[in-house]
Amino acid sequence: MKFVITGATGRTSRMVADRLLERGVKGEDLIMVSRSPERAELAPYAARGAALRYCDFTDMPSVAPALAGGERMYFMPMNHPPGMVDEAAVKRMVVAQAKAAGIRYCIYQSFIAAASEAAEDDDYATETALRSSGMGWAIMRTGVFTESLGRECKRYIREGRIACEKPDTPRAYVTRDDIAAAGAELLLNESRKGRIYNIVGSTITMRALALLLTELSGRQIEIVKSDRPDFGANLGTPPSDLPALIGRKGISVEEQFRADAQELLTGVPVGAEVKFGFQWQARGMEARPDDLGLKMTRLYDAARNGDAASLAAFRAALGENPQRIALWRHTHPEWFWWEKC
């Protein structure tokens, strides 16, 4: 049985792969696909026999080769800069490509905001496409990442306040650990297919959060009225299917924050990796790096429009990524027009 994990350099996707390995899946049965398969985060999986493959959902010819040979797939959406692509259209095409590539069973990591057709978002459109694809499917509608809340709480502690519109409205959160445990369970048990699962670890109000942060930091955290809509306040708090999937309650916001209070207060993680930050922060970078696929596309467009500096940078980028040259020649033959000049 071959398992495809998309967005494989992301922390959640890697944790799904880790849970599969812990439950007896062999390394050689993993196909890890990413826009940056050469990144150091994936080296341990390659050492265990996993296939590392380039895949960029905005580079549609790269998708089918990346999924080839897979039977079950964890579909972690790859987010793109706002306005760069039609997310719903891209994800629908990925679903079609997965079906054509032979994927029999697909797990999609969605979001609780997709719970209504009125949302009209790309998650709902993707769910609809998957359910009508002919593949076996399961959908995980997750709460907001607890880790994302933790990133914001660093600021709350620094500023001594939480600005919000609805401080007493419960909001649904879930940790990456719980998402990964649920994702692995669904991947390994196709008998659970054909259902939408609400993956919520705990709920908390901003007022209760302020009290928790006050206790942890020793600094009074105030609630300040805001006229801006609160993210997470209007998403609802559906009953969670998490305990039925993984055999335990989800990790609560309070449990996660107490376990990682050191990072909340000092910025220094308890383990080897930043938990309450972005991937690029976890790699010690001060600014978000430009995605390689996006960078190459921008350079190519500028170079074809006659920008000599972009052409030089484009050729240099090709030379810096020799492991991708063969695939790029296949998926982007137009990128090598300069060789004929």
- pLDDT value for 282: 58
Q: The domain 144-175+199-278: what is its CATH number?
A: 3.90.25.10
Does 281 score more than 70 pLDDT?
A: no
Average pLDDT for 294-323: 86
- pLDDT value for 324: 75
Enumerate residues 6+ apart whose C-beta is below 8 A from 210. Answer: 156, 162, 167, 221, 222, 223
pLDDT digits (tens, 9 = 90+) for 75-96: 998 766 556 667 788 889 999 9
Does 341 score more than 70 pLDDT?
A: no
pLDDT band at 291 (very low <50, low <70, confident <90, very high): low
Burial class (CB in 10 A: 0-12, 13-18, 19+), 252: middle
Tell which residue, 237, 203, 11, has the closest CA to residue 113.
237
pLDDT band at 284 (very low <50, low <70, confident <90, very high): low
Sorted by where each begins, the domain ranges of the chain are 1-142, 144-175+199-278, 292-340
State which CATH number among 3.40.50.1950, 3.40.1080.10, 3.20.20.70, 3.40.50.720 fits the domain covering 1-142: 3.40.50.720
pLDDT band at 286 (very low <50, low <70, confident <90, very high): low
Average pLDDT for 257-283: 82
Percent of the chain whose pLDDT exceeds 70: 90
Average pLDDT for 47-60: 90
Is the pLDDT higher at 125 or at 341?
125
Please give the single-letter amino acid code of residue 316. A
Strand partners, 198: 141
Spatial separation of the C-alpha atoms in residues 300 and 315, rounded to whole Å: 9
- pLDDT value for 246: 97
Spatial separation of the C-alpha atoms in residues 201 and 112, rounded to whole Å: 12
50-54, 58-62, 322-326: segment of lowest average pLDDT? 322-326
Q: Evaluate whether 46 touches 17 at the Cβ level (below 8 Å).
A: no
- pLDDT value for 207: 97
| Token pair for 25 | 């899946």
Does 118 score more than 70 pLDDT?
A: no
pLDDT digits (tens, 9 = 90+) for 104-117: 999 999 999 886 65
In DSSP notation, 128-152 reads HHHHTSSSEEEEEEE-EEHHHHHHH
Q: What is the DSSP letter of 42?
A: G
pLDDT digits (tens, 9 = 90+) for 167-207: 999 999 999 999 999 999 999 999 999 999 999 999 999 99
Q: Please, what is the average pLDDT of the chain?
A: 88
Q: Evaluate whether 77 touches 7 at the Cβ level (below 8 Å).
A: yes
pLDDT digits (tens, 9 = 90+) for 3-27: 999 999 999 999 999 999 999 999 9
- pLDDT value for 81: 57
Count of other CB atoms within 10 angstroms of residue 168? 11
pTM, two decimals, is: 0.86
Average pLDDT for 43-69: 92
